[in-house]
Structure 1
């Protein structure tokens, strides 16, 4: 690039690099989705089309950005997990958050007609997503973050299921339903649903109760990384693999299965079955 007298303006640019050796979570959130869901008549309390669209957009992003190990989502948010040693965009925060938000938004809009064929998007009212990057220094803090999001999913879904049952089936106004549920605990909401409306909450769709986990099955790749002979071995950081070794691993990543699950990630079972996630 030719130099010019205007090039001094580059000195105003600043980069924020995320700390090394920490888990990166990029959380993507819908902007103004209360109004958006009303505009496009999302079913209450859960619109399975909207949730499946979110899942499809997340899976498409993972197909595009192979560094994502797993993702967890519910409602209008998705959390994408990048490994401790991930060097995507040299861990530049602005590049990461802008890429994830724009890629997710593009996929969501592109896939819209597959799930909402009778509700074409209004060019003046398009969906958009923002994102943020959060670092988790330990394996336990990463697990606790994902457990928090899943617990939040359950709490919100139980409340919303009860609220909309009172409104749509019980004929209450939103204000009356809110007052009815004020101060209730989980047991009370289960009782309201079952005794008044014959709804067994435990039999509800697992995706509604637990959210969605999308996992890149990397067990074989993780083993290949661990058994590969490093070009450089250090005592203070990860082994450095050759360019050819990295290319082979990248090929395996692209070919790895990406599975969509609705399972418990709070208990140990999931993590014991896939111990390579935290070892990676």
Structure 2
């Protein structure tokens, strides 16, 4: 770029470089998805096709960014765990969050047209996602982050399952359903679902109760990932990413709260 007297404006730009040797998690969230789901008449309490669009988008984004080792999502959000020593975009926060939010938004619109061919998107109501990047200093905190998200998934799904059955099958108004659930705990909601609607919550699909997990399965090819890639050259890092890009990505609907999940997949945090 040629120099000019106007180039001084670049001095106003500020970069936030995320701390090295820490785990980066990027979480994307749908913007205004309550109105979006209403506008496109999502099935309540869970729309399997809408979740399919989310999962296909997350998987596609994970394939395109080989530094992502794991992704977890439910409803209109997804969290992506990067390699601990990842230097993608030199760990510049703004670059990372814009790449993930714009990439996910683009994939979502692409897969929407495939999964919902009879529900074309309207320019007045397009799906978009924002993102945040957070660094975590230890493995244990990363585990607790994902545990937090899965517990949140369970709490929200149990409430929504109870709420929408009261509205759709119980013919209550939204306000009446909300009042009936006020002050209830999990056991109360389970009992309500079974007694009033014959629904055993334990029999609900695992994807609804536990969310969706994608992992880059390198257990049979651990030689791809060096013990420490701090001093790798740019060429070596690109070769590593090329190898990781070919590794199988598995989709799971399982418990990530118990330590067993992490013990079996220790490479995710190395």
- TM-score between both structures, scaled by the size of structure 1: 0.93
Residue-pair matches, total: 270
Confirm or deny that 1:62 pairs with 2:53.
Answer: no
Instruction: Using the TM superposition, give the Cα deviation of residue 239 of structure 1 relative to its aligned residue in structure 2, in angstroms.
Output: 5.3
Q: Secondary structure at the match of 1:70?
A: strand
Confirm or deny that 1:254 pairs with 2:251.
Answer: no
Are the equivalent residues in 1 in contact too, given 2:66–2:242 (CA < 8 A)? no
Structure 1 distance, partners of 2:82, 2:54, is 19
Structure 2 distance, partners of 1:138, 1:58, is 25
CA offsets per residue over residues 215-242 of structure 1, 9 Å max, x none? 1112244334347xxxxxxxxx755245
Instruction: Using the TM superposition, give the Cα deviation of residue 245 of structure 1 relative to its aligned residue in structure 2, in angstroms.
Output: 4.5
Q: Which residue of 2 aligns with 1:152?
A: 152
Q: Which residue of 2 aligns with 1:27?
A: 27
Are the equivalent residues in 2 in contact too, given 1:69–1:81 (CA < 8 A)? yes
Structure 1 distance, partners of 2:225, 2:55, is 29
Instruction: Using the TM superposition, give the Cα deviation of residue 28 of structure 1 relative to its aligned residue in structure 2, in angstroms.
Output: 0.3
Structure 1's consecutive aligned runs of 4 or more residues displaced over 6 angstroms after TM superposition are none
Are the equivalent residues in 1 in contact too, given 2:23–2:137 (CA < 8 A)? yes
Q: Which residue of 2 aligns with 1:230?
A: none
Are the equivalent residues in 2 in contact too, given 1:221–1:252 (CA < 8 A)? no
Q: Secondary structure at the match of 2:120?
A: coil
Confirm or deny that 1:223 pairs with 2:223.
Answer: yes
Q: Which residue of 2 aligns with 1:183?
A: 183
Q: Secondary structure at the match of 1:219?
A: coil
Matches within 5 A, 1:124-143: 124-143=124-143
Q: Which residue of 1 aligns with 2:72?
A: 72
Q: Secondary structure at the match of 1:121?
A: coil
CA spacing shift, 1:99–1:239, aligned 2, 3 Å? closer
The alignment's C-alpha RMSD in Å is 1.5
Instruction: Using the TM superposition, give the Cα deviation of residue 204 of structure 1 relative to its aligned residue in structure 2, in angstroms.
Output: 0.2
Q: Which residue of 2 aligns with 1:272?
A: 263
CA offsets per residue over residues 79-129 of structure 1, 9 Å max, x none? 011122110000000000011000000000011122111111012211110
Unmatched segments (≥5 aa) in structure 1: 228-236
Are the equivalent residues in 1 in contact too, given 2:25–2:79 (CA < 8 A)? yes
CA spacing shift, 1:2–1:226, aligned 2, 3 Å? closer
Instruction: Using the TM superposition, give the Cα deviation of residue 130 of structure 1 relative to its aligned residue in structure 2, in angstroms.
Output: 0.4
Q: Which residue of 2 aligns with 1:48?
A: 48
Counterpart among 247, 250, 254 of residue 263 in structure 1: 254
